[in-house]
Amino acid sequence: MKDKKQAVYDRLWALGVAFAVTEHPAVYTIDEMDSLGITLDGDVLKNLFLRDAKGKRHFLVALDKEKHANLDALRGQLESSKLSFASEERLERYLGLKKGAVTPLGVFQDTAGAVEVAFDRSLIGRAKVGVHPNDNTATVWLSFEDLVGVIEASGHPVRYVEVE
């Protein structure tokens, strides 16, 4: 089976997306990325994998690393019941990812289209955003516009939310 990172790089090349990669030790938090200086290279995204109260809807919400999402405020914008963080088991089942590797690019592995993707509106226009390539030992850098384009090319519509 192809390495998860290589599969992402191959997909980005096939879509004609310009990107760069920073390899690094496994990181599980934004603080760890900060301590390694990774966040100095561009705007790293914080990614939340959420579920509704009944576990019927799943959301991947991406926002600037400096922001903190209010789940009640997101609930209204996503027209959902009460939101909570999804379990590691759900993360593996729906996106094929492990804790610490949550990324919008995980939707490449969601062939059923079960996960809804939302980005904080403040990310629009960012020239260089960083996300993991389905593995937390690297960060892929690309424009926000290209990130949205590859998510949409995977068959996942993108919506926008306001995160304070």
Q: What is the pLDDT of residue 164?
A: 84
Q: What is the pLDDT of residue 131?
A: 97
The answer for residues whose C-beta is within 8 angstroms of residue 98's C-beta and 6 or more apart is: 88, 91, 92, 136
- The string of pLDDT tens digits covering residues 4-40 is 999 999 999 999 999 999 999 999 999 999 999 999 8
**131 SS3 class:** strand
Residues of the chain with pLDDT under 50: 1
Every domain of the chain and the residues it spans: 4-161
Amino acid at 8: V
Q: What is the pLDDT of residue 2?
A: 61
Domain 4-161 has CATH 2.60.40.2580: no
**What is this structure's pTM?**
0.94
